[in-house]
Amino acid sequence: MLVDTKAMFKKAYEGNYAIGAFNVNNMELIQGIVAGAAEKRAPLILQISKGAREYASPIYLKKLIEAVVEDNPEIPIVMHLDHGADVEICKACVDGGFTSVMIDASHDDFEENIRKTKEVVDYAHAHGVVVEAELGKLVGVQFDEGDEGGGKSGGAYTDPDQAVEFVERTGVNSLAIAIGTSHGAYKFKGEPRLDFERLEVITKKLAGFPLVLHGASTVIQEYVRLCNEFGGNLPGAKGVPEEMITRASRLGVCKVNIDTDLRLAMTGSVRKALAEHPDDFDPRKYLGPAREMVKQLVMHKLDILGCVNII
């Protein structure tokens, strides 16, 4: 069933677990993700980014999600806009049947971020849709903006006092915060470190309020090795250790975004299948195993997040 995040996040907060939010852009990804959630009896957030909308067309993605909702009526599924670039995109997604939208004005100044977020909140709430916003700037650039690396400068951690003011003035339903995660497959040059002290302060000041962690893929080394073994070039790719994700989910983080790990699993599987069977030209022969690998990855991630056997 298609739902919003209100009840989902309330249960997650009280149960000290987080919901997996998985980015989707084609049929095999969606099928693999939902199959994993069904087996683990876990609620699910399916995210559509700007890049996914441009690649697959919003109507195709919407119909694919409607198909899995119909096929899996027992799973609570949120259809979420990830990193909405402007107010107009958010409004269009509200009008298009999304149950949750994110307005990302984190690169604007504080007051402009509040203004844009409040405009989206007012419109979305009037249509029964929940809103996520972002405060602070993650290091790295979104895949959709054409940069794989996470090593660029420009990050800024979320200020706890500003977080309180932001939530109060906008009426937003959840808040993505910056505590050291980053987009892409190269999240850390040295030892991984997240600012859990900052997270604890924000959680205390916003007691009961759902926080969101972006740029939190683990960059599982099994999939990195698989990609590299069969022709890839990802030296030194490194993500957020899973124990850190589990710790964050017990400190008020109710939603964890996962995209890079999905890409690595699917690409590694496809590379392996084509390398081992160069005579195959039927897409089903390599996309089928990739779909299964995505399913296994999702099941593993749901265990890490602690949201299994919830439904």
pLDDT tens for residues 62-97? 999 999 999 999 999 999 999 999 999 999 999 999
Decide if 298 contacts 33 (C-beta within 8 A).
yes
Calpha distance 276→34 (Å, rounded): 28
Contacts of 171 (CB under 8 A, 6+ apart): 118, 121, 125
Work out the average pLDDT over 180-193.
81
Q: What is the DSSP string of 53-93?
A: HHHH-HHHHHHHHHHHHHH-TTS-EEEEEEEE-SHHHHHHH
pLDDT tens for residues 151-181? 334 568 999 999 999 999 999 999 999 998 8
Calpha distance 132→253 (Å, rounded): 13
Domain housing 44: 6-305
In a domain, 102, yes or no: yes
Decide if 249 contacts 18 (C-beta within 8 A).
yes
What's the structural domain count of the chain?
A: 1
Which residues are known catalytic residues? 82
pLDDT at 182: 81
Decide if 48 contacts 24 (C-beta within 8 A).
yes
For the chain, the first-to-last Cα distance in angstroms comes to 12
**Residue 138 reports pLDDT greater than 90:** no
In a domain, 1, yes or no: no
pLDDT at 140: 52
pTM confidence score? 0.92
Tell which residue, 69, 71, 29, 34, has the closest CA to residue 299: 34
Decide if 62 contacts 103 (C-beta within 8 A).
no
Tell which residue, 203, 239, 198, 179, has the closest CA to residue 16: 203
Which position has the token pair 């599924």? 77
pLDDT at 187: 77
In a domain, 311, yes or no: no
Higher pLDDT, 193 or 166: 166
- For residue 107, how many C-alpha atoms fall within 13 Å in the half-sphere facing its CB? 11
pLDDT tens for residues 256-275? 999 999 999 999 999 999 99
Amino acid (one-letter) located at 152? K
In a domain, 267, yes or no: yes
Calpha distance 274→227 (Å, rounded): 12
In a domain, 310, yes or no: no
pLDDT at 184: 84
Q: Which two tokens stand for residue 3?
A: 């739902």
Residue 19 sits in a domain whose CATH number is 3.20.20.70
